[in-house]
Copies of this chain bind each other. A is one copy, B any other.
Amino acid sequence: MNIIRILAVDDHEMTTLGYKFILEDHEFDGFKVHMDTAKTFAEAEQAIRQSASRLPYHILLLDIQLSGANGDRDKTGEDLGILARQLIPESRIVFMSSFSDNYRINSIMQTVNPEGYMVKSEIDQKSLQAMVETVLHTPPYYTQKALVAIRKKMSNKINLDDNDRKILYHLSIGTKTKDMVNHISLSLPSIENRKRHIKSLFGIEKQNDQALISEARARGFI
């Protein structure tokens, strides 16, 4: 009987324990699951590094939010995913996220390109088991809410460049336009111009930033 080795990372221990019980108890066709768990970025990193030199994990289940040990701006599950892709490229990576916000999903699809993405509210026993099967044999596996975000992005004809996206991102987190010059290597008038340009692409000429933000959100950019 083959053993599928999984590492589950989540700062809520109950969550990883739930995964562990469900998957280790289940009778898969031709294999059994063995699961390790980690609660912090550091723990997870160590586990991944160790596994890299011996037996790489078959699957990594990563929460995106990892509350830091000391509370400050900490490494996320996304960083962990990027690291894992380098150290153990054969491993399948699945994100288990509380939110299905578009900006996050888009970013993760580009930086990590995971084999799976599950929105936590949609996870149950059956979907967990289906995820493992699918990810091992015919990835990818996405839950419904993740699919909705992905569809939104795919159907989008407008392609903004990096600077445009940065502008939208900063708008969304409340950065003032005049302060964006410190984060984006463009002059103030250029940023204003681009905002105008994006508004016209969105069909909301002559409206204010609030309208831009909500339209960008509706279109899945943020």
Interface residues of A (CB under 8 A from B): 106, 109-110, 113, 134, 138-140, 142, 144, 147-148, 150-151, 153-157, 159, 161
A151 partner, pick from B140, B151, B159, beta carbons under 8 A? B140
Chain B residues with CB under 8 Å of A110's CB are 154-157
Tell which of A110, A134, A154, A159 has the most Cβ of chain B within 10 Å: A154
- What separation, in Å, do the CA atoms of A138 and B145 have in the docked complex? 9
User: Which residues does chain B contribute within 8 Å of A161, judged by CB atoms?
Assistant: 159
CB distance from A180 to the nearest CB of B (A): 22
Please report the C-alpha to C-alpha distance between residue A51 and residue B126 in the assembled complex, in whole angstroms. 39
Q: Kindly list 8 other residue pairs between chains A and B, CB separation below 8 angstroms, not including A109-B151, A139-B151.
A: A109-B154, A109-B155, A110-B154, A110-B157, A140-B147, A140-B151, A153-B154, A154-B154
Among the listed B142, B147, B155, which residue makes an inter-chain contact with A113, where contact means beta carbons less than 8 Å apart?
Answer: B155
Q: Distance in Å from the Cβ of A113 to the closest Cβ of chain B? A: 4
CB distance from A171 to the nearest CB of B (A): 21
Q: Which residues of B contact A151 (CB under 8 A)?
A: 109, 113, 139-140
Complex interface: chain B residues within 8 A of A139 (CB)? 148, 151
Q: What chain B residues lie within 8 Å of A106 (beta carbons)?
A: 154
Q: How far is the CB of A137 from chain B (nearest CB, A)?
A: 10
Query: Can you sample 7 A-B contacts with CB below 8 Å?
Result: A113-B151, A113-B154, A113-B155, A139-B148, A140-B147, A150-B150, A150-B154
Residue of B nearest to A156 (CB): B110
Most buried by B among A139, A151, A153: A151
Q: List 8 A-B pairs, minimum CB-CB distance, nearest first.
A: A113-B155, A109-B154, A159-B159, A140-B151, A110-B157, A109-B155, A138-B144, A140-B147
